[in-house]
Structure 1
């Protein structure tokens, strides 16, 4: 599974794994936490926006 995740990440810093969660890669643990929190917030905002969309 590690090779699949590495391939999915490519040159990016984060990837969402279906039914598994989030993988974040950064230079320091602090940067990893900040990136994970930012991505979680962005996902939450996206879900809220989609739930308010009207047809």
Structure 2
């Protein structure tokens, strides 16, 4: 897997997490633990993308 493939996969995963967060936020009583975990995972991906761009 090339670095560009990895970046593409990370961006795709980041978008999927955004969609999950949106769906959960639209619920009358969102699962706050799930929301926190999704945000944490999104931040990890963002940090990884930032470190890859810094190289």
TM-score by length of 1: 0.49
Greater RCO between the two (CA within 8 Å, min separation 6)? Answer: 2
| Structure in which a larger fraction of residues adopt strand | 1
Identify, as 1 or 2, the structure richer in helix. Answer: 2
Query: What is the TM-score with the length of structure 2 in the denominator?
Result: 0.49
